[in-house]
Amino acid sequence: MPKKSNMDKCSFCGREKKNVDLLIAGIDGHICERCAEQAYSIIKEEVKKDDSFDLNSVKLLKPREIKGFVDQYVIGQDQAKKILAVSVYNHYKRLTQRIDDDETEIEKSNIILVGETGTGKTLLARTIAKMLHVPFTIVDATILTEAGYVGEDIESLLTRLLQAADYNVEAAQRGIVFIDEIDKIARKGDNPSITRDVSGEGVQQGLLKLLEGSIVNVPPQGGRKHPEQKLIPLDTKDILFICGGAFDGIERKIANRLNTKVIGYSAAKNSDRIERENMLQYISPQDLKSFGLIPEIIGRLPVLTYLDPLDKKTLRNILTEPKNSVIKQYKKLFKIDGITLEFEEDALQYVVDKAIEYKLGARGLRSICESIMNDAMFDSPSEKIDNLFVSLEYAEGKLNRSNIQRLKAS
């Protein structure tokens, strides 16, 4: 009887069966649901510690090796890759520097990427963060406003970085923040004193302290919905900020500075060698100021580079060459169902032609392929087929019946 009594209680906490909701039986003992939940929490925390971000685990490669890694995921954009590789390499060398007798302190080099939509700005930043295994977050600048106005506070950038680092403050303080759509917070007018620009110049002023480096009190769950929460101090001096934007229309400002025109035949003789199809390669900080960024924020983004517009050859390579290319993803999806998927070369070229026609950039390739493959992905799991071949005629027929045709540029 005493032995039976021991089998009717938890071997960990000693609670009897009548005092718990669930008692799980083992070979020589029992465990209640409360102890099981606590054991699970302990295991989860220990696993998180093993997989946490560690400065010693940062795989800092040489700039040439960094570019080689990014080449596996991003096609083209060699100039932007080189500049990013050097900046990231120097930034993480800076974190390991020791102050010598000359007390030379290396300043961080925040980056600004200028390029048309769909050229790979976000993908470049995400790929480098993946290689380094550091906390990384993407924030859209269009949702930011000055404190007290509808929108999100500037500190929400760091809240998301802190969440990406599993609230590990030390790891977050050496992470990477990608601020997208930075061009959307450009100054709306030449005279900012007439009306308060709370989502334009006001946000730029708020970003200054983050970009340069200062201790910011960050609300761990967001500032406005939980005003009672305890703030976490975060030092931004070692956080690398990468800003990206399309800067639509900045080509005209570049052309004016170069005393030439984007459209037309009248041009100075000394500008004949200027490539007017890719004016972004001549971009300078002066053009960003003309567009509406304040000089203070331009000075805190010292590394300026551009992304080339995507031509047919580059888009064709993007479809199939990268490790996670669109076509490889579709082949993997069909392979899971035991179906071998093949594409005719003319069908792939047709997708590229449509992406250029719709002016969607690289991200438009996925939208077009989705319209073409949707019916096949719906029917093929239920049909007993081993192979599927996508021809030009099949692609044209499916795309012509889809709603994506409405995107066609007029």
Which pLDDT score is estimated for 378?
92
279 has a pLDDT exceeding 60: yes
50 burial class (0-12, 13-18, 19+ CB within 10 angstroms)? Answer: exposed
Query: How confident is the model over 355-384, as pLDDT tens digits?
Result: 888 877 888 899 899 999 999 999 988 888
Which pLDDT score is estimated for 76?
86
Highest mean pLDDT among 57-71, 267-281, 314-328: 314-328
Higher-pLDDT residue of 271, 8: 8
Which pLDDT score is estimated for 1?
40
Share the mean pLDDT of the chain. 81
What number is the average pLDDT over the span 219-244? 79
80 burial class (0-12, 13-18, 19+ CB within 10 angstroms)? Answer: buried
Percentage of the chain beyond pLDDT 90 is 24
What number is the average pLDDT over the span 81-101? 81
409 has a pLDDT exceeding 50: no
In the three-class reduction of DSSP (H, G, I as helix; E, B as strand; rest coil), residue 241 is classed as strand
What number is the average pLDDT over the span 253-268? 65
Residues in the chain: 410
| Sequential DSSP letters for 305-322 | EE-PPP-HHHHHHHHHSS
Which pLDDT score is estimated for 199?
54
3-state SS of the chain: helix, strand, coil percent to 5? 50, 10, 40
270 has a pLDDT exceeding 80: no
Question: What's CA 180's distance to the chain center, in Å?
Answer: 8
Query: How confident is the model over 53-73, as pLDDT tens digits?
Result: 555 555 678 899 999 999 999
∠ CA 72-73-74, nearest 5°, is 105
CA distance 175 to 163: 11
Tokens representing residue 260 in the block: 């030439």
7 has a pLDDT exceeding 70: no
Residue 295 CB neighbour total at 10 angstroms: 11
Which pLDDT score is estimated for 50?
47
Paired sense of beta strands 232-235 and 215-218, if any: antiparallel
203 has a pLDDT exceeding 70: yes
CA distance 333 to 330: 5
Closest CA to 362 of 115, 155, 181, 12: 115
290 burial class (0-12, 13-18, 19+ CB within 10 angstroms)? Answer: middle
Q: Name the band, by pLDDT with cuts 50, 70 and 90, for residue 268.
A: very low
Alpha helices in 51-114 (DSSP H): 63-71, 78-95
